Amino acid sequence: MCACVLVAQSLVAAMNLAIPKIAASGLHPSPAQLLWIVDTYVLVFAGLLIPAGALGDRPPRLKRRGGTPMAARACC
């Protein structure tokens, strides 16, 4: 649970850091629209984080071989 809160908080912080870039985009959103953008992102992310955590806790836990090497390859 603590890890989920940390992930959610870090992504909200990243979204807040992106606000100036979003405001300077070609759409030129108003401050109220920026608030809606951030709130929508946070609500959707939090709404998906809860079912994803529950899905990860369901038995039987399948052994996923090669998950770390595949993730490392995806990042490169």
Q: At 70, is the pLDDT very low, low, confident or very high (cuts 50, 70, 90)?
A: low
Compare 62 and 7 and report the one with higher pLDDT.
7
Dihedral angle of Cα 6, 7, 13, 17, to the nearest 10 degrees? 150
| Three-class secondary structure of residue 30 per DSSP | coil
CB 33 within 8 A of CB 19: no
The pLDDT value recorded for residue 69 is: 61
Q: SS3 of 37, please?
A: helix
Mean pLDDT, the chain, rounded, equals 78
Residue 7: pLDDT band with limits 50, 70, 90: confident
Does residue 62 carry a pLDDT above 60? no
Q: In whole angstroms, what is the distance from residue 20 CA to residue 27 CA? A: 12
Question: Averaged over 21-34, what is the pLDDT?
Answer: 90
Nearest to 35 by CA among 57, 15, 11: 15
